[in-house]
Amino acid sequence: MEETKRSSMEETKISKSWADVADEADASEMSTLDMKSNDEPAIESLVIDESKDIKSTLSDPSDASIQVVPSGDTLYKSAKTFEDLSLSEELLKGLYSEMKFERPSKVQEVTLPMILTPPHLNLIAQAHNGSGKTTCFVLGMLSRVDPRLGAPQALCICPTRELAIQNMEVLLKMGKFTGITSELAIPPSKENYVPINKRPPVTAQVIIGTPGTINRWITAKKLGASCMKILVFDEADHMLEDAGFKDDSIRIMKAIVKGKADCQVLLFSATFNDSVKGFVKKIVEDLFVKGYNQIFVKKEELSLESVKQFKVHCPDELSKVMVVKDKILDLGAKVGQTIIFVRTREGARMLYKALVEFGYEVTVIQGALTHEDRDKIIKEFKDGLTQVLISTDLLARGFDQSQVNLVVNYDLPVQYERPSEPNCEVYLHRIGRAGRFGRKGAVFNLLCNDRDTMLMSKIENHFNSPVAEVPSWESDEDFKVALKTAGLI
């Protein structure tokens, strides 16, 4: 009992993160589902076949932009079709009939053989938003599980409950026709709360959850690692950076190594800055027996070509509100859903209040809300019941909603410790919420002062990509031209 209390106290020391939320209080189980696995394939050599022009519904990088750094003597062959991976019939049925996939994306062509081929080396994988990373690690988990063994065999750690729930939804769809059990490890609603000492040990074969909850389950001996085959970190750069969940993540890794030293580790993210990339490599080398492969997409390829970016100079704070109200929401009302990103919880409340007073139906999500309210807001937005969502960076990473065509950076993202410097990784994640899976999208960056202008300039220089300017914040015609340029009207 004292050990559990001590763990909880340690977790509260985590520094504030860009996502406006650290992992919350205790969690209990959500629902489980039955699914089934397959035999592992043996694949020989890795080559990207440039003679085949395979079109994908995902936002694919070019072949030349994918940098592969293999480790060891294992040879891999790229998977042009899902059949090339020797997947079970149940998984193929889930991919085709439930996920509606036709063939692997280019990132999946390279990544999936590395995940599924013995000796199942560790993998550090970075590729841009919308390239199919989630499918890679979910399919990897489902493929490695033995459905005859009623014990945890695959674990996926996510920075937020929203991303954990979303990844579980993908797992349930993809594995619908198998017999694998799964469980969410996230902070519970008040109605579902069960003291950790009263819950049974975890027997689900795949667990997806947030780091604080996972750590509590492990500390309380409710989640064992003796049968663990695969450990996934989604948004791995944030999970292993100082401003994120570094301490929790390392504790989980050490517990897994202690219980199962040869567990395969997959680290996925759209971004890895140099310092985090170096730390990730070191921690994998220090803790895990197996070597690791690496896949990276060149930085200049990371910005999404299907998303058009614009900057708008506004004379003051009120004019920013008026731009959102009169230009983006009114003119963009027919083009799809909109996410407006703000820097702080108070900023989210302020903008929400202002737009509601003007008569607009908008919703707002930020880390201070209850779990029940957050889940309800996300469900309504995903169901299309609401069209405009104001958010802190809680939803900047990994949030999939195909109908989002507009993103507004009401505040530009900055580094928490150095607010005079932009957070280019978070900027990239934010704009990746628009134009998912190759669809058209537009991003409007609202600049209010010299500091905003400086931040925007640094973002443009970082990606070596100038952002077009909307000439006048007051002109309907200028905004119509921008939306036409983005292919939205």
Superfamily of domain 68-297: P-loop containing nucleotide triphosphate hydrolases (3.40.50.300)
The residue-averaged pLDDT of 247-261 equals 90
Query: 178-232 pLDDT, tens per residue?
Result: 999 999 999 887 777 888 999 999 999 999 999 999 999 999 999 999 999 999 9
Give domain 307-486's CATH architecture.
Answer: 3-Layer(aba) Sandwich (3.40)
The residue-averaged pLDDT of 124-148 equals 89
- Dist. CA 309–CA 319, nearest whole Å: 20
pTM comes to: 0.76
Cis, bond preceding 113 (omega within 30 deg of 0): no
The residue-averaged pLDDT of 309-314 equals 97
Q: How far is CA 280 from the centre of its chain?
A: 17
Q: How far is CA 295 from CA 23, 239, 428, in A?
A: 29, 18, 18
pLDDT at 299: 57
Element (H, E) at 381: helix 371-382
DSSP three-state, residue 468: strand
pLDDT at 29: 35
Percent of residues, the chain, with pLDDT higher than 70? 84
pLDDT at 303: 55
- Dist. CA 176–CA 179, nearest whole Å: 8
User: One-letter amino acid identity for 478?
Assistant: D
Query: 163-181 pLDDT, tens per residue?
Result: 999 999 999 999 999 999 9
DSSP three-state, residue 231: strand
Query: 440-458 pLDDT, tens per residue?
Result: 889 999 999 999 999 999 9
pLDDT at 30: 39
Residue 46 has pLDDT above 50, yes or no: no
DSSP three-state, residue 314: coil
Across the chain, what does the average pLDDT equal? 83
Residue 67 has pLDDT above 70, yes or no: yes
pLDDT at 128: 72
Query: 470-481 pLDDT, tens per residue?
Result: 999 999 999 999
Instruction: Indicate the burial class of 72 (C-beta count within 10 angstroms; 0-12, 13-18, 19 or more).
Output: exposed
Best CA proximity match to 265, nearest among 227, 229, 238: 229
Residue 260 has pLDDT above 90, yes or no: no
Residue 44 has pLDDT above 70, yes or no: no
The residue-averaged pLDDT of 382-408 equals 87
Residue 239 has pLDDT above 60, yes or no: yes
Asked whether 77 and 44 are in contact (CB, 8 A), the reply is: yes
Neighbours of 406 (CB within 10 A): 28
The segment(s) of the chain belonging to CATH 3.40.50.300 are: 68-297, 307-486
